[in-house]
Amino acid sequence: MPSSDEKDLSHSSPASSIASLHVDEISPPPQEKLLPQPASAPKPKQKLSSATIIPIWIILSSSVIIYNNHVYNTLKFEFPVFLVTWHLVFAAIGTRVLQRTTHLLDGAKEVHISRDMFIRSILPIGLLFSGSLVLSNKAYLYLSLHYIQMLKAFTPVAILIISWTFRIQDPNKKLALIVLMISSGVALASKGELLFDPSGFIIQAAAVAFEASRLVMIQILLHGMKMDPLVSLHYYAPVCAVINLMVLPFTEGLAPFYELARLGPLILLSNAFIAFLLNVAAVFLVGVGSGLVLTLAGVFKDILLIVGSVVIFGTQVTILQVVGYSIALCGLVIFKTSGGK
């Protein structure tokens, strides 16, 4: 799925989401593992060792985010709604091709969605997913790549706040301390950002709110359903693509279509293909490691992205940001090792 969070389906992480489209991706973020999962997704029959699939996932997830950042800021194709929509259309077609040619989507046979469930569950989650993907990609027009990754560390805090507000989970002192750690770390990282943009910060904060709401709503509305990242993408990509197509005329209009010739088919196809491969990798990833391993893989990926942002794009990271982000990551790891309780 499209990413830039193509949630990473790209904080983009490997658990159950779709995308980091990520675009940050259409692939599942590690935060999705922060909620107790109602049912474990079926694992793919093909076996790959964690030593093989984790590096592949890290490379693909990082590539999607860096590639999208390149498209937006270097190639100046500043149309996140269009790019996310294109990723979703590609993913909708790709999952249906895989369904007919491989066993990767056999899990879809176990998912039965009625018209009532579609209207009551799939559609509202799709709306939140579209909002998360578009906003997280739009943030790349305003903020540096490394700072966006730092802000994504706040997603588990947003999930907990929403869960506490709607009494899905009871707060306790340990969780409150973890929330304080992550929040303080992100605040320090923001204080140290040299190119801070209020508009970009608000857009990324809204993206985090949409993503956290989506993950909580999945827990509430799809309780008991078994959907791995690719099956989720199979159902949500068409829904989100239609939603985005309805929004596109009122946001970006025809402008992105006039720029397609300049961008070229090679960029469009390769960009969407890498994002789609990320979601395929996520299917194998969730089957080879524990929640903590997946979280640590996501943390390592984000650190590599921040370093890569400095090396490739020449952005500056301050000592205050390093300290703040380290505190936030420690809070996230403590949260995972404690089982989120």
* pLDDT of 22 above 60: no
Q: How far apart are CA 193 and CA 187, in angstroms?
A: 10
Mean pLDDT of 43-48: 55
pLDDT in tens, 82-123: 999 999 999 999 999 999 999 888 888 888 888 888 998 899
* pTM for this entry: 0.82
For 66, residues 6+ apart whose C-beta sits below 8 A from its C-beta are 145, 305, 308, 312
Please give the pLDDT value at position 341. Answer: 64
Which range is most confident: 37-41, 263-267, 335-339? Answer: 263-267
Burial category of 264 from C-beta neighbours within 10 Å (exposed 0-12, middle 13-18, buried 19 and up): exposed
Q: How far apart are CA 275 and CA 271, in angstroms?
A: 6
In the chain, the percentage of residues whose pLDDT exceeds 70 is 84
Please give the pLDDT value at position 172. Answer: 86
Residue 8 · residue 285 · CB < 8 Å: no
Give the SS3 label for residue 333: helix
pLDDT in tens, 125-141: 999 999 999 999 999 99
